[in-house]
Structure 1
Amino acid sequence: NLSWNTTDDTLRNAFSSYGQILDSIVMRDRDTGRSRGFGFVTFSSGAEAQNAIASLNEQELDGRRIKVNLANARGSGGGG
């Protein structure tokens, strides 16, 4: 539930004080380039991720209250 104006850099900056960020990305529509309203931040450790969740969940970023949680790990195969 990110603001449509949140950029990759804004996302990274918001989370950077909670640990070493390996990657951060705001997901965008591949046709329009418009933000899809969510993103991912990858920390170097689970403890750092938990610290960010505890500190930033339900806080405001770019004028919107954000939800911060752990993403489900991607599966290695197709469904069935």
Structure 2
Amino acid sequence: MQMKLYVGNLSFNTSAQDLSELFASVGTVQSANVIEDRDTGRSRGFGFVEMSSQEEGQNAITELNGKEVDGRELKVNEAKPQTNRAGGGGGGGGRNGGGGGGRGGFGGGGGGGYRGQRW
């Protein structure tokens, strides 16, 4: 069974190819990618590597976590599935008073027309 690893604190110059070559020194790499900013295309300083087995993944963590690469100390651990991430943007309801005070839900009462046009 494969193991997906999170690799953090990457140099912004590190490419997916660099990551693949580094991790190939400790096991068989199935895939490697560096996460880029969708607007600028620049590295966001982290990526993911998929090793061919749990054993090789654990070996990569042991060997490479804390290793200095391009002047930066890598953070390597097992990737966790994204859970509850979408809920992070929720707290914005305060802009319209949170629906309290008799203003109702979406759209509100008086003066709400301008806000509705912005969206």
TM-score (norm 1): 0.88
- Per the TM alignment, residue 74 of structure 1 is displaced from its structure 2 partner at its CA by 4.8
Deviation readout 1:14-55 (Å, 9 max, x if unpaired):
110211111000100011010001000001101000000000
Unaligned runs of 5+ in 1: none
| 1:52 maps to amino acid | A
Unaligned runs of 5+ in 2: 1-8, 88-119
Superposition map of 1:6-25 within 5 A: 6-25=14-33
The count of aligned residue pairs is: 77
- Per the TM alignment, residue 63 of structure 1 is displaced from its structure 2 partner at its CA by 1.7
1:18 alignment partner, SS class: coil
| 1:71 maps to amino acid | A
User: Per residue, is there more helix in 1 or in 2?
Assistant: 2
Identity, % of aligned pairs? 53
1:69 alignment partner, SS class: strand
**Rounded Cα–Cα distance in structure 2 between residues aligned with 1:69 and 1:25:** 15
Q: Which of the pair has more CA radius of gyration?
A: 2
Superposition map of 1:1-80 within 5 A: 1-74=9-82
Runs of 4+ aligned residues of structure 1 deviating over 3 Å after TM superposition are: none
